Amino acid sequence: SDLQKQEERGELLQPLIFVSLVLCSILLYFRVSLMDPGFVKAEEEEKADKSEEQSVVIPLVPSNIKLRRCGYCMVKQPMRARHCQLCQHCVRRYDHHCPWMENCIGEKNHPFFIVYLIMQLVVLLWGGQVAWSGLYFELSWEWLNHNIFLLTSFFVIVIFTIVAVLLLISHLYLISCNTTTWEFMSHHRISYLRHSELENPFDQGVILNLWRFFC
């Protein structure tokens, strides 16, 4: 049959890989949006001072910086945590609240968020290449009527690809510096950064920063 001939020629492999990548990106989306991003819980207060990251950076942060209680949920905030008014929780290593995910990006789901962006970018680039390969250009209204859907799809893919590239580059840069979006945008308002002798007391070098984040 035609299906068997296509399979023998390897023509079915690429569509199967593409569909698998789309399914993986969907699963990653739900993984990031539904998982606990690192909510600070009341029963964890006693452990707040003993976290691995704090033990590493305490010598670099002024000793007069005290952990404070959140004015909303009344838990003692670990360093780098922030209260999200949309989630109604304090989040460890808070990065930002993502409206597309309807969840915070924090200590636990940030690595999955980066993998999701990479997977989404691969799917978009592949889809853009497929859409572009199906286009042939002619200066006529008849051509435009026959190709308007494909042309629109291509431009939509290009826009989303640009957004995904910019997001991925900015997050990888911040990760390589061991800082968060919140810390980068609000450096002058955060006490443990404002009073530190170093611009970024958490930076331990690109390789170690990436290792600690992903591994």
Nearest to 69 by CA among 43, 97, 90: 90
DSSP string, 101-139: TTEEE-TTTHHHHHHHHHHHHHHHHHHHHHHHHT----S
Residues 115-167: tens digit of each pLDDT:
999 999 999 999 988 888 777 766 667 766 777 887 888 899 999 999 999 99
- Is residue 215 annotated as part of the catalytic site, yes or no? no
Contacts within 8 Å (CB) and 24+ apart, 151-158: 154/128, 157/124, 157/127, 157/128, 157/131, 158/128
Q: For residue 14, is it left (φ>0), alpha (ψ between -120 and 50) or beta?
A: alpha
**What Rg value do the Cα atoms of the chain yield, rounded?**
23
Residues 50-106: tens digit of each pLDDT:
544 444 444 455 555 666 788 888 888 888 999 999 999 999 999 999 999 999 999
Q: What is the rounded average pLDDT for all residues in the chain?
A: 84
| pTM of the complete model beyond 0.85 | no
Token couple for 63 = 């000793």
pLDDT of residue 145: 77
Which one of the listed residues 70, 98, 104, 177 is annotated catalytic? 98
